[in-house]
Amino acid sequence: MVSPKNSEDDIEEPLINNSSSTELTNSSNVSIPTPISSTNFNMSFIFSLLASLGALLFASTVWYITSSTEYIFFIWHPTLMATVLLMATQGTIVLQKAESRQEKDGALNFHKLMQSITFLSVIGGFYIIYTFKSEENKEHFASPHGKSGLITFSLILIQTIAGSTLVNFPGVVGGVAKAKSMYKYHRISGYLVLSLIWLTALGGTGADWTKSQFDHPWVWLLATGMVLVGIIGGIKSNKMKIR
């Protein structure tokens, strides 16, 4: 639960320095007094746990609904979109938690994997609902959920392609240094896209089909609230500066 202190800019510092103190410190530790002594809580870990559990609650509720209802082709839409939501959230949390250089390298690999699954799942989920509605001769993008879904789908594609270009083909933007200096824009747009994913998914839970299967809005709101608090709590203000 405790990891060495390391800011965004001191990535060249050794993980273990030679200072006289042997105690590991963490910028996000909060000390809470207890009757015996004060206890350190790593708030970064607690926020990430809250967000992970919220995302898992939302996604597993969707999967519970789709696995217990009568099978139709449509059910792959919510099934895949719940995967999008879980993977995109986990892919964000892992980067928020990483502090040391070593953690950041591992986190970037995990982030790439999560966002690759998000990318494929959102294409699948979009293709399924689009063809399903075409086959049923229903109007496309008629509901607020359908409209925000189209915007979210497009932005996920742009965000993933842009992020992948910065990491895998930095030459496209003028080299590695330039690409790294653009990470902050990718981070900010990433939080915007993640917010849209959650708003769109919440809209999906309000659709007539979903309510006919599972009408307990408090579960969706509880899960979303946990993710909101967990993700906002995990944001490090020094990472959000543009200049």
Single residue of 26, 48, 96, 210 touching ligand HEM by CB under 6 A: 210
Q: How far is CA 45 from CA 62, 135, 182, 188, in A?
A: 26, 46, 27, 21
Site for ligand HEM in 211-240 (CB under 6 A): none
Closest CA to 242 of 185, 179, 165, 171: 185
Nearest approach in angstroms of CB 62 to ligand HEM is: 5
Nearest approach in angstroms of CB 77 to ligand HEM is: 6
2 CB-near residues (< 8 Å, 6+ apart): 24, 26, 29, 40, 42
User: What x/- string results for residues 32 through 61 when contact with ligand HEM is judged by CB under 6 A?
Assistant: ------------------------------
Q: Does residue number 118 form part of the binding site for ligand HEM (CB under 6 A)?
A: no
Q: Does residue number 146 form part of the binding site for ligand HEM (CB under 6 A)?
A: yes
Q: Does residue number 162 form part of the binding site for ligand HEM (CB under 6 A)?
A: no
Position 26, amino acid? N
Q: Does residue number 94 form part of the binding site for ligand HEM (CB under 6 A)?
A: no
Phi-psi label, residue 174: left if phi above 0, alpha if psi -120 to 50, beta otherwise: left
205 CB-near residues (< 8 Å, 6+ apart): 211, 217, 220
Q: Nearer to ligand HEM by C-beta: 183 or 209? A: 209
Q: Does residue number 190 form part of the binding site for ligand HEM (CB under 6 A)?
A: no
Q: Nearer to ligand HEM by C-beta: 149 or 234? A: 149
Six token digits for residue 234: 């995990």
What is residue 137's three-state secondary structure?
coil
Q: Nearer to ligand HEM by C-beta: 30 or 161? A: 161
Measured between alpha carbons, how far is 143 from 62 in angstroms, rounded to an integer? 20
Residue for token pair 């559990």: 53
Nearest approach in angstroms of CB 85 to ligand HEM is: 6
Q: Does residue number 183 form part of the binding site for ligand HEM (CB under 6 A)?
A: no
Single residue of 41, 110, 127, 141 touching ligand HEM by CB under 6 A: 141
Measured between alpha carbons, how far is 217 from 154 in angstroms, rounded to an integer? 27
Neighbours of 183 (CB within 10 A): 15
**Element of type H or E holding 40:** strand 38-42
Question: Footprint of ligand HEM on this chain (CB under 6 A)?
Answer: 62, 77-78, 81-82, 84-85, 126, 129-130, 133, 140-141, 143, 145-146, 149-150, 152-153, 197, 200-201, 204-205, 207, 209-210
